[in-house]
Amino acid sequence: MRWLDDDPEVEAARAKYREEYAGGSRGVVSDAFTTGTHQNSWPEPDMSAARQNRRAPPPLRLEVFGPMWSDWIAAAAESASCPPDYVAGPLLAAASMLIGNARWVSPWQGWREPPVLWVGIVGDPSASKSPGADPVLEILRSLENEMASGFEATHREWATARESAKFARETWLKDVAAAKKEGTPAPIMPASAVEPPEPMRPRILVSDATPEALGGLVGAHEKGLLFFRDELAGWFDGFGRYSGSGADRAFWVEAYGGRPFTIDRVKNPLPVIIPRLSIGVLGGVQPDRLCDLIAGPDDGLQARFLWLWPDKVPPRRPTRYASFETARTALQKLIELPLVPAEDGASRPFLCALAEDAADSFDQWRKEHSEFEASGSLASAFGKAPGHVLRLALVLSICGGARTPQWLYHQTGLARRPFWHRAV
Write the secondary structure of 313-359 as one string of H (helix), E (strand) and C (coil): CCCCCCCCCCCHHHHHHHHHHHHCCCCEECCCCCEECEEEECCHHHH
- How many Å apart are CA 25 and CA 400, to the nearest integer? 65
Rounded to 5°, the CA angle 417-418-422 comes to 110
What pLDDT is recorded for position 418? 32
- How many Å apart are CA 221 and CA 204, to the nearest integer? 9
Rounded to 5°, the CA angle 134-115-146 comes to 45
Mean pLDDT, the chain, integer: 83
Q: Global pTM?
A: 0.79
Amino acid type, 302: Q
Contact call for residues 115 and 100 (beta carbons, < 8 A): yes
> CA nearest 116: which of 337, 345, 391, 381?
391
Query: Residue ranges of the chain with pLDDT lower than 50?
Result: 1-4, 24-34, 36, 401-424
CATH number of 62-148+210-423: 3.40.50
- How many Å apart are CA 198 and CA 210, to the nearest integer? 19
What pLDDT is recorded for position 89? 97
Q: Work out the angle between the directed axes of helices 324-335 and 67-80 (0-180°, nearest 10).
A: 130
Strand-by-strand arrangement of the 103-108 sheet: 111-113, 103-108, 350-353
Number of neighbours of residue 77 by Cβ within 10 angstroms: 26
- How many Å apart are CA 224 and CA 95, to the nearest integer? 12
